[in-house]
Structure 1
């Protein structure tokens, strides 16, 4: 049996030996601003994943709204509304401590995805928040990202996962429900059945 520790890759040089150098087109994809093509991806995306890092660890949070909800302020800056959630504020706490973020944009039915790396701050500017009004309600803050790099990922991951293929959808009820998970994690203190029963109304009431 081989020694697993001896196969741990511990340096960039070892990685390069395993994978070789990136192709020219992979390097050409990266820019330091939103060009016309990359703007189209941001404006079409209804869903993003925001990754951040801070003293308490890492966070990777989903965010969604109607397509174009991430506002392009200029070629080097975007703003993301922070809609009501669970008030853990994991990514906001991280950003206040460490501005580094990465944002992945996903568009249903599209194979390519877009990634923005940059540095963010949390803004409560009323003029900025006013532009994110939905159903008469405003987010409490927005995450403003100054872009360091923009890059599009090719479709291989989407193709391999069949993410947008209806045939791969998991049947309803085949996974533990949120209430079931909470019941188990709380050793029964949380009424899981009641949580699931009230969820549709609760979500609609607190969506914005």
Structure 2
């Protein structure tokens, strides 16, 4: 039975929300403007969304400030550092190159959104450009930019994301070891996982 309170057509949706402000349209461009480049170069953290045959994926990417390089106004380079080797995002890109990336800058309310198509590169010279402490990334994403625009600060302001009094102690949430132990009915040793995790993160950062 159809839910009378469900919106299922664009016309109804547009009537509910009304027309976007002119600035919301004008801010979107098809290249990386120098102003937008400054946001990217100041960002140590981004989230990338992909889609593929097995579904959607959204994955965090973080590194030193400016870890994503603006190769030119139509191209970004994003190194893929060590992780859990699930490579969900990369699997998706192989079959569907479309990506959406949102960049965060600590202390700044506005974020920057980039949509485009990505390819996975393993050229040794390119990998070397992103070397940290002599360690290169497994691959680099070359993102061909199709649209770029800023997102206003309302979401960050409402969440008070950067405000210290919003931060909670890690002990307030279950540890990763506890989660793994419970999910696997004790098959994985959660206490051992938690014990080894701090050193593992330090030694496998890059």
Instruction: State the TM-score bracket (shorter-chain normalisation).
Output: over 0.9
- TM normalised by structure 1 equals 0.97
In structure 2, C-alpha distance between the alignment counterparts of 1:187 and 1:105, rounded to whole Å:
38
C-alpha separation between the residues in 2 aligned to 1:128 and 1:51?
Answer: 23
Give 2:7's aligned residue: 9
Shift of 1:144: 0.9
Alignment of 1:1-208 (within 5 A): 5-208=3-206
> What whole-Å deviation, never above 9, does each CA across 1:79-103 have from its counterpart, x for those lacking one?
1100011111000000000001000
Unmatched segments (≥5 aa) in structure 2:
none
How many residues are paired up?
206
Q: How far apart are the structure 2 equivalents of 1:143 and 1:11?
A: 36
Q: Shift in Å at residue 172 of structure 1?
A: 2.6
- Once residues 10 and 4 of structure 1 are traced to their aligned partners in structure 2, the CA distance between those partners, rounded to angstroms, is 10
Runs of 4+ in 1 over 2 A off after TM superposition: none
Counterpart Cα distance in 2 of 1:4 and 1:181:
38
- Unaligned residue ranges in structure 1 (runs of 5+): none
- In the alignment, the residues of structure 2 paired with residue 130 and residue 71 of structure 1 have an alpha-carbon distance, to the nearest angstrom, of 13
The two structures have a TM-score, normalised by structure 2, of 0.98
| 1:115-166 superposed Cα distances (whole Å, 9 cap, x missing partner) | 0000111111112111100010001111111001001000000100000000
Distance apart, 1:4 and its partner CA: 7.3
Q: The residue matched to 1:6 in structure 2 has which SS?
A: coil
Tell me how large the CA RMSD over aligned residues is.
Answer: 1.0
Distance 1:144 1:28 in 2: 26
Secondary structure at the counterpart of residue 170 of structure 2 = coil
